Structure 1
Amino acid sequence: MWKVLPLLAALFAVAACASPQAATPAATQTTSLQRNAESLQAKLRRSPQDASAWAQLGTTHVELARVTFDPQHHSRADKALTESLRLRPDGNGEAFIGRGALANAQHDFAAAREWGLRAAAALPDSASAQGVLVDALTQLGDDAGASVALQRMLDLRPGVASFSRAAYHFELHGRMDDARGAWERALESASSPDEVAFCRLHLDELEGRADKSLETSRGLVSKVPSPEHLVQYGEALDRAGKSAEARVQYDLALQQLRALGGDDLTAALIAADHGDPVEALRFAEKEWAKRQSVFTADALAWALHVNKRSAEALPYSDRAVALGWRDPDVLRHREAILGALR
């Protein structure tokens, strides 16, 4: 049994050794997922009443949307999962997991929590069901609930998916050495080239947050052109005096966010730093109405600050660091807010 919470450092005492849902290097995983989708489609042509295969196809399309940033996969996932639940509406844990994963991907975290609870009830020994809950509860600001679900996930399956979530949990609590150790454990648990690349990427990303160089940021974008990496690259270009190239990266990030829909949090941060402060506050307030996590607290604090409302921003900044989160950008936001109030 893995006893990781509440003191997650115990994770590393058992042996010396490695997305939120997070992106993997897209090329190889996209190929693997597409092959899986084609195989499932062929199976369903032979057995269209197979509720399990429909659920697996839906979950595969959720993953394809994540690595390709193509929103069409969300609608395909929805259709497949709907068919699975039509065929087996009760006790269909696989479809509940897929629905939860889709809701998390679309940032409907309240719905994801409910699907996760249904999945865990139907499949109490499923680590994937607990993963849906970890992701949803973290984003909803339920740190205690997320910790319980994470512990259960680690107990059920101490592998890449659970160790990577443990790393994220460590990071939110300001325990960067433990986060790095969790990624190393995830890397040692990796059983495929895709999983190895996934873990190495995130170890590089963890170091990249301290190393803000243009080369490091460009490397992350080349591996995974996610909105977050595009913004990081744009900021590195800005620091290098390449403002026109930086603007291209910010615009690409916003295009991705609009295409996939639902991520007003990242849009708020981009607008606050590189766009319209009023729009930033609108995005941040909209996201705060849906979830009161440390992430949204920071985004709302920063949006209020850039709108010259620093006194209102401070309580949200306090909340953003309450767990121990010490992300450099969060600390930069906080120092600016405190400085404006001195």
Structure 2
Amino acid sequence: MENDEEAPAPVRRGGGRLLIASVAGCAVLGGVLMLLPSERTHTRAPAPAPGAQAHSAVVAGVPAALPGLAALIGEREARVRAHPEDAGSWAVLGTAYVEQGRRTADPAYYPRAEAALRTSLKVRGKGNAEALGGLAALSNARRDFRAAKAWAEAARAARPRRWTTYPLLIDAYTGLGDQQAARAALDRLLKLRSGPDVLARAAAVYRDRGRREDAAAALSDAAAGARAPAERAAYLERSGQLAWERGEREDALRYFREAVRLDPDQRAAQAGQGRVLAALGRTTEALNAYRVALAGQPCPQYALELGELYESLGLGQAARVQYDLLRARVRVAAEGGADEELVLGLFEADHGDASVAVRRLRAEWDRQPGIAVADALGWALHRAGRDEEALRFAAVATDQAKGGGVRSAPYAYHRGMIERGVQRYGPARRHLQEALRINPYFSPVHVRTARAALAELGEPSVADVPAMDAEGWGTAAGLPSLSDFW
């Protein structure tokens, strides 16, 4: 059996957490090992070197610490210079470049990753699941989910029991809006592997299906069983994000802070602190948290959030600086082959040209019709004054029957505002209330708009009850129909 297909350590449930047993042993070769009295001391084995730790993480597809990644990249670059026919080292190098690019939001690593991975395929094409998986990881990082699906399915065909392929498939299928295929890939993964990395992956699927408690429990178990600080920090960051989506500010802040303590380079957790601190009214701390996050990982999404925070404070010039940074980072991403059309479309819808947002997001939908794109396109159409068409996409993003099972305050808010635009006041009221119930702090800008819209809609009254037709349903324009209830 190959290393990446070996059975995991024994697992048992206890106290609501996953307990992973470790078995220590030793072997003596060539006779009996004798210790002098002065040598009979129990010493802990030295920790693996940073490069070795990162190698283990990269091969397993789990988060790695930035210093370890830098060491691994240096080691593998030296290795392939000396041994250019080493297909395995080329594959590890390419996958490490992908992780470094993702962690630093530096798309310049992506062309290097592609060159290294394609070199690995050139040296050893047949059955090279490591290089195929690396190309799938690269495509997911670039948000090119069709390419990711093709590479990951090729990796699966080469070695069907290689468990690290299935998380790549889950990401690709989710990005394409194929929730059924994502669930099937998770089911296969769970049969091949157990442990914290698989629990974290399962949590993402549970969250997308609206099973938030299951997602939170899986992430808690994943963090408890993580093997390295950077891995545990990544799972804590995801726990914080899940708590934030539920409006649990103090819990989210605790998760984010612990993640940063374990891994100071965990920039997503620092941006998470910015969101929560802003919601707590600790504005100066929030601004500082966002600045630190952007300094280490200049993601367009963080620039958009910081810009909107400035805007909510009446600091228009400071907001425009962040919006300019967002545009610049999107251009840099495109140069590295990465797709940031989703965040750019949302920005254009709210702060730029809504017609441009519609054009960009419609093209994105044609390429990869995921749930997030459906929500963004629906919102852009609303901002462009095309509410009837917008409602179809908002329904895709929020109706569980259509794949939109995630409980998202922004998605519910978008749908409520669109329904208000088409005078479907009952559903509009319901979805706006749902948005504020899920997370009353979801946006420093849009929460105010949601509350104002609800106040304008007011409470239902007897006057809102429609006249009944022969079948007992309202006939007045804009009033609920059967489709509003089922």
What is the TM-score of this pair, normalised by structure 2? 0.63
The one-letter code matched in structure 2 to 1:299 is A
User: Residue 94 of structure 1 aligns to a residue in which SS?
Assistant: helix
User: Residue 127 of structure 1 aligns to a residue in which SS?
Assistant: coil
In the alignment, structure 1 residue 17 sits paired with structure 2 residue 17: yes
2:202 pairs with one of 149, 166, 175: 166
Percentage of pairs with the same residue: 35
Gaps of 5+ in 2: 1-11, 19-60, 250-274, 424-486
Distance 1:327 1:229, change over 3 A: farther
Q: Distance in 2 between matches of 1:160 and 1:91?
A: 28
Distance 1:47 1:136, change over 3 A: same
Distance 1:302 1:63, change over 3 A: same
Q: Distance in 2 between matches of 1:222 and 1:119?
A: 38
In the alignment, structure 1 residue 222 sits paired with structure 2 residue 292: yes
Q: Which has the higher contact order (CA 8 A, sep 6+)?
A: 1
Structure 1 contact 137–145 (Cα < 8 Å) conserved: yes
Distance 1:229 1:58, change over 3 A: same
Distance 1:220 1:198, change over 3 A: farther
| CA positional deviation for 1:117 | 0.8
Gaps of 5+ in 1: 1-11
Distance 1:128 1:248, change over 3 A: farther
CA offset digits 1:215-274 (Å, max 9, x no partner): 585536635553333323333333233333333333333322221221211111111122
Task: Find the counterpart in structure 1 of residue 92 from structure 2.
Answer: 56
1:242 pairs with one of 315, 340, 343: 315
| CA positional deviation for 1:69 | 1.5
| CA positional deviation for 1:84 | 0.5
In the alignment, structure 1 residue 333 sits paired with structure 2 residue 414: yes
Task: Find the counterpart in structure 2 of residue 269 from structure 1.
Answer: 346
In the alignment, structure 1 residue 259 sits paired with structure 2 residue 332: yes
Distance 1:32 1:272, change over 3 A: same
The one-letter code matched in structure 2 to 1:17 is R
Q: Distance in 1 between matches of 2:105 and 2:160?
A: 31
Q: Distance in 2 between matches of 1:164 and 1:273?
A: 33
Q: Distance in 2 between matches of 1:310 and 1:86?
A: 51
Q: Distance in 2 between matches of 1:220 and 1:178?
A: 30
Structure 2 contact 303–322 (Cα < 8 Å) conserved: yes
Q: Distance in 2 between matches of 1:52 and 1:177?
A: 40
Distance 1:102 1:291, change over 3 A: same
**1:195-206 → structure 2 map (5 Å cutoff):** 195-206=231-242
Task: Find the counterpart in structure 2 of residue 320 from structure 1.
Answer: 397
Task: Find the counterpart in structure 2 of residue 155 from structure 1.
Answer: 191
In the alignment, structure 1 residue 231 sits paired with structure 2 residue 267: no
Task: Find the counterpart in structure 2 of residue 6 from structure 1.
Answer: none
- Which structure has greater helix proportion? 1
2:363 pairs with one of 286, 292, 305: 286
CA offset digits 1:31-69 (Å, max 9, x no partner): 221111111112222321111110111111111110112
Q: Distance in 2 between matches of 1:23 and 1:267?
A: 28
The one-letter code matched in structure 1 to 2:292 is S
Distance 1:163 1:245, change over 3 A: farther
Distance 1:116 1:170, change over 3 A: same
Q: Distance in 1 between matches of 2:375 and 2:185?
A: 24
What do you get for the CA RMSD once the two structures are aligned? 2.4
| CA positional deviation for 1:23 | 11
In the alignment, structure 1 residue 310 sits paired with structure 2 residue 380: no
| CA positional deviation for 1:171 | 2.0
Distance 1:286 1:221, change over 3 A: farther
Structure 1 contact 221–229 (Cα < 8 Å) conserved: no
Distance 1:33 1:151, change over 3 A: same
Q: Distance in 1 between matches of 2:231 and 2:186?
A: 19
Task: Find the counterpart in structure 1 of residue 34 from structure 2.
Answer: none
The one-letter code matched in structure 2 to 1:290 is R
In the alignment, structure 1 residue 40 sits paired with structure 2 residue 76: yes
1:194 pairs with one of 230, 237, 247: 230
What is the TM-score of this pair, normalised by structure 1? 0.87
Q: Distance in 2 between matches of 1:308 and 1:23?
A: 44
Structure 1 contact 208–217 (Cα < 8 Å) conserved: no
Structure 1 contact 300–316 (Cα < 8 Å) conserved: yes
User: Residue 183 of structure 1 aligns to a residue in which SS?
Assistant: helix
Tell which structure's C-alpha radius of gyration is larger. Answer: 2
The one-letter code matched in structure 2 to 1:106 is R
